[in-house]
Amino acid sequence: MTTTPPLLEVENLRVVFDGVLGSVTAVNDVSLSVDRGQTIAVVGESGSGKSVTARTIMGLSTPPGRIAEGSIRLAGRELVGLTDRQWRGVRGSQIAMVFQDPMRSLNPTMKVGTQIEEAIRLHTDLSKKQARARAVELLDAVRIAAPRRRVDEYPHQLSGGMRQRVMIALALSCGPELLIADEPTTALDVTTQQQILDLMGELQADMGMAVMLITHDIGIAASYTDTVFVMYAGQVVESAPTRRLFTDPRMPYTRALLDSIPSLDSPAHEPLPAIEGSPPDLAELSAGCSFSARCPRATQTCLTQRPALIEHEAGRAWACWHPVESKEAS
């Protein structure tokens, strides 16, 4: 029986940042995959390596950052080592990205329609008139009212939610196979967040593309994704189908993240559980498990030997010497 290979395959990726005092490893031996049409989440605290991983997959790792080891394959094509010109042929047409701050990503001096038109003409043979018509269609597709008028407006004339919709339209302008969304709703209010995520889900279903969602919001991962990869200190420490991860986490760090989510059943006066301590300094990682200093289950082995990410069960893996006992086995 022949199995279809993943759309995106990242294997043993290591990204370092070079400085005057030496190199710091920001992404350490990360492996993950995304199937066609699938939605995955990469979650973790700030500084865990989520965004660096995403930008590296997009070919946006620039000095002082560099890929030290590893492979990134999109539809079977190796992306590591592509020239800038080759990347321009991939970025936008095959893989696209929605950033968390549209005001920093959109050109404030250009009309939003013009920015979408330029992206379309870069990757297609459409005329200027055809590209403009396509830009209007895309603004309409992302639920922007009066798209024929909005196409001639500047980013500062739009609300935060509308600017993020423009970013989605821009990312989808050439029909990419994979969309990476890096904290796409961070600066938005709760209602607008849900509208943007629902919109992305609808567009994904219509276009059949895969989505890689980068987020620190565990609740978003639970509601909108098929598989979750949990990162800590530059490493993937657990991965599993979303439902299984949330009902039966095995890595203590994942358990601690889930315990910190507010529950409607929790008494209002009780403080939320917090993970004691702080994430480690990536420049001074110990030889052991990177979570050991904050983990109540840590032993001497954890302090001196780093556990590998191993697939212990079909479809799920964790990196831990003393995993949380499975609820399914009890």
Q: pLDDT tens digit string along 42-61? A: 999 888 999 999 999 999 98
CB atoms within 10 A of CB 3: 5
Mean pLDDT for the chain?
Answer: 92
Q: Which residue has the higher pLDDT, 270 or 171?
A: 171
Please give the structure tokens belonging to residue 330. 């009890």
Q: Name the least confident of 244-258, 268-282, 301-315.
A: 268-282
Instruction: Report the C-alpha gap between 43 and 242 in whole angstroms.
Output: 12
Amino acid at 24: V
In a domain, 48, yes or no: yes
Q: CA-to-CA distance for 50 and 52, rounded, in angstroms?
A: 6
Cα separation, 145 vs 297, whole angstroms:
53
Nearest to residue 228, comparing CAs of 245, 205, 204?
A: 245
Biggest CA-to-CA distance, the chain: 67
Q: CA-CA distance, 187 to 251, in Å (whole number)?
A: 30
Q: Tell me the two tokens of residue 186.
A: 């961070």
Tell me the residue ranges of DSSP E strands in 35-190: 39-43, 65-74, 77-78, 95-98, 178-182
Give me the helix-helix angle, 160-172 and 128-141, nearest 10°: 130
pLDDT digits (tens, 9 = 90+) for 86-140: 998 999 899 999 988 888 889 999 999 999 999 999 889 999 999 999 999 999 9
DSSP per-residue string spanning 131-157: HHHHHHHHHHHTT-SSHHHHTTS-GGG
CA distances from 6 to 38, 75, 210, 218 (A): 10, 7, 10, 24
Alpha carbon distance 30, 81 (integer Å): 18
Q: Assign residue 293 a region: left if phi > 0, alpha if psi is -120 to 50, beta otherwise?
A: alpha
Q: Are 97 and 135 in contact (CB under 8 A)?
A: no
DSSP E strands: which ranges in 151-223? 178-182, 210-215
Note the pLDDT of residue 101: 83
Report the residue count for the chain. 330
Task: Answer whether residue 78 is part of any domain.
Answer: yes
Query: Does the pLDDT value for residue 177 go beyond 70?
Result: yes
Asked if residue 323 belongs to a domain, the reply is no
Domain-embedded: residue 272:
no
Mean pLDDT value of segment 233-254: 96
HSE-up (13 A, CA, CB side) for residue 125: 0
Strongest mean pLDDT among 3-7, 99-103, 235-239, 253-257: 235-239
* Residue 210, domain member (yes or no): yes
User: Given pLDDT bands bounded at 50, 70 and 90, which one contains residue 63?
Assistant: confident
Domain count, the chain: 1
Handedness of CA 220, 222, 223, 228 (dihedral sign): positive
User: Is residue 31 predicted with pLDDT exceeding 70?
Assistant: yes
Is residue 267 one of the residues assigned to a domain?
Answer: no
Give CA–CA dist 94/8, Å, rounded. Answer: 11
Dihedral angle over CA of 230, 54, 188, 166, nearest 10: -150
| CA angle 9–11–13, rounded 5-degree value | 120
Range of the domain at 52: 11-261+287-318
**Among candidate residues 267, 242, 263, 253, the one with its CA nearest the CA of residue 296:** 253
DSSP 159: -
Give the C-alpha separation, 129 to 127, whole Å.
5
How far, in Å, CA of 297 to CA of 277, rounded? 15
pTM of the model: 0.93
Considering only CA atoms, which of 245, 282, 313 is closest in space to residue 48? 282
**Domain membership flag for residue 200:** yes
Q: Is residue 254 in a domain?
A: yes
Among 79-88, 289-298, 308-317, 321-330, whose mean pLDDT is lowest? 321-330
What pLDDT score does 275 carry? 85
| CATH number, domain with residue 39 | 3.40.50.300
> In the structure encoding, which two tokens stand for residue 85, read together?
């010109």
> Residue 103's pLDDT is what?
83
